[in-house]
């Protein structure tokens, strides 16, 4: 990853000038995704120079079962099935087809929500997510260009690649800091200066900080929060992590030498008539492919070639990830032959697929409001530590960013980016207020 120095010497900016006159606060940003990059870039642009960005998280949750009430899936099946079955004009075969199409629609929505099933998605909170108005645009150079633009002005001295974190010690006293550093084999002659936060890395290094911005995914927090934070998280924050949902949505791209579909075809939808009356969309391990809801045609072919894009979610996506490319390509080809009736469809010449669920540093695609959770849990997840009330400890020791912390734009990349900027701005405002208070003290 290329990077270059960013100038932060502007004397016109009061905050930058004040930061140059004082000891720079030490800030560690954990995770170099969009949230981490946005936070780091915002801090550097506002005069903070002692910033460290680590690329990876701790590798090492307890699932919460969906309640039967307040579920999008259960409500939808109940209402729509009754409406279909009571239609006096439809034949039994038409009713069966409509019920099967309902099942397929729920699979599509599960992939959109990145939930194992719409039965797990909260009905009352379904409107929390907000879509930005306006047209969708394709980035010619690919979405990676957004990441490259965010990263290009971050100095190489700031970015620490392949730096997994073992534990985040917060609310540390100076004695705690010395003890942690000694145990971690810090290999430094100088004694550490007092720091409320110590980020202990897997390689034994300790990064001392005044503030740490944690951008770990909700999947990582579910798996690791009990051991990742010392002391442990407050009960209400831990409960928010467990109540909110995250699952795996994967894409499967199939490239063909020539299209077997007509120019008018936009999508091939898989509707299984034998699923018309099913109440569950969990499949036996060998039938994981039934969770693939469709293959969409990518246009124009001048840009993409002859490419199909399929979606799969939930536990079935994880099973797909465990298969090799050859197996997935073969199964998808048979699926396309079965639903189009064209037995001459060749195997794709190339396959590309995501593996969000099995990546130990991500553990899922994006979050959703699960049955039993609400937007208040999103806000609780985003609340910095220590909590402001009833404490004299240094403020804003541990801040949280990432798509799961944005109440309106959770599950999106722009939500992740905005959350990183928001937490960086919390720190900017803290030091602006601190320096302003310092300069307005009355002379005695």
Last residue of a domain, one of 330, 353, 376: 353
108 and 140 co-located in one domain: no
- Quick one: pLDDT at residue 388? 80
Question: What are the residues whose beta carbons fall under 8 Å from the beta carbon of 410, sequence distance 6 or more?
Answer: 128, 129, 366, 367, 368, 369, 378, 403, 404
Q: What angle do CA 148, 150, 156 make, to 5 degrees?
A: 80
Same-domain check for residues 48 and 159? yes
Q: What is the pTM of this model?
A: 0.87
Are both 44 and 144 inside the same structural domain? yes
Low pLDDT (below 70) residues in the chain: 1-21, 56-69, 173-194, 390, 437-444
pLDDT at 8: 40
Examine the domain organization and report whether 163 and 232 are in the same domain: yes
Torsion of CA 351, 357, 361, 365, to 10 degrees: 90
Which of 323, 353, 383 is at the close of a domain?
353
- pLDDT tens for 2-34 read 223 333 444 456 666 666 667 789 999 999 999
State how many domains the chain has: 2
Q: Give the Cα separation of 13 and 145 in Å (integer).
A: 30
% of the chain surpassing 90 pLDDT: 73
Domain contains 9 = no
Give tens-digit pLDDT for 267-305: 999 999 999 999 888 999 999 999 999 999 999 898 889
CATH of residue 112's domain is: 3.90.660
170 with 37, same domain?
yes
Instruction: Dump pLDDT digits (tens) for 51-95.
Output: 999 976 544 433 334 344 589 999 999 999 999 999 999 999 999
Give the per-residue pLDDT at 319: 98
What integer pLDDT is reported at residue 9 of this predicted model?
A: 43
Dist CA 216 CA 56 (whole Å): 9
pLDDT of residue 441: 60
* Statement to judge: residues 44 and 181 lie in one domain: yes
Q: Which residues contact 350 (CB under 8 A, 6 or more apart)?
A: 254, 255
pLDDT at 440: 64
- Which domain covers residue 216, as residue numbers? 14-62+131-245+363-439
């Amino acid at each position: 990853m290329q990077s270059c120095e960013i100038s932060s010497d502007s004397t016109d900016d009061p905050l930058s000038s004040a930061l140059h006159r004082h000891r720079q606060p030490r800030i560690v940003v954990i995770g170099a995704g969009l949230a981490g990059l946005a936070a780091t870039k915002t801090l550097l642009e506002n005069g903070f120079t002692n910033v460290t960005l680590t690329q990876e998280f701790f590798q090492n949750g307890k699932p919460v079962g969906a309640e039967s009430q307040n579920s999008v899936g259960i409500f939808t099946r109940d209402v729509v099935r009754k409406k279909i079955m009571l239609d006096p004009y439809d034949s039994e075969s038409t009713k069966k087809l409509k019920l099967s199409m309902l099942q397929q629609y729920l699979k599509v929505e599960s992939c959109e929500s990145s939930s194992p099933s719409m039965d797990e998605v909260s009905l009352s909170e379904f409107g929390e997510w907000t879509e930005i108005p306006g047209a969708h645009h394709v980035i010619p150079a690919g979405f990676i260009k957004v990441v490259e633009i965010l990263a290009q002005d971050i100095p190489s001295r700031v970015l620490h690649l392949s730096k997994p974190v073992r534990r985040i010690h917060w609310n540390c006293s100076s004695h705690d800091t010395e003890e942690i550093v000694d145990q971690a084999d810090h290999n430094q002659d100088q004694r550490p200066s007092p720091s409320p936060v110590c980020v202990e890395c897997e390689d034994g290094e300790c990064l001392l900080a005044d503030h740490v911005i944690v951008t770990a995914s909700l999947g990582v927090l579910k798996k690791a929060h009990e051991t990742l934070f010392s002391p442990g998280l407050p009960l209400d924050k831990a409960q928010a992590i467990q109540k909110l949902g995250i699952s795996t949505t994967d894409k499967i791209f199939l490239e063909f030498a020539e299209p077997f579909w007509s120019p008018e075809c936009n999508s091939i939808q898989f509707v299984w008539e034998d699923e018309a009356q099913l109440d569950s969309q969990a499949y036996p391990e060998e039938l994981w492919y039934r969770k693939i809801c469709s293959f969409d045609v990518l246009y124009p072919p001048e840009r993409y070639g002859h490419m199909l894009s399929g979606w799969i979610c939930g536990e079935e996506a994880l099973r797909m990830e465990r298969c090799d490319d050859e197996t997935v390509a073969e199964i998808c080809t048979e699926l396309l032959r079965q639903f189009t009736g064209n037995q001459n469809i060749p195997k794709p010449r190339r396959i590309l697929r995501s593996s969000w669920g099995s990546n130990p540093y991500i553990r899922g695609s994006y979050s959703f409001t699960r049955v039993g959770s609400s937007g208040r849990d999103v806000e609780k997840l985003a609340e910095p530590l220590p909590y402001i009330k009833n404490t004299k400890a240094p403020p804003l020791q541990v801040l949280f960013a990432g798509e799961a912390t944005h109440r309106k734009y959770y599950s999106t990349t722009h939500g992740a980016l905005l959350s990183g900027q928001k937490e960086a701005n919390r720190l900017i405002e803290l030091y602006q207020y601190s320096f302003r208070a310092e300069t307005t003290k009355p002379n005695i």
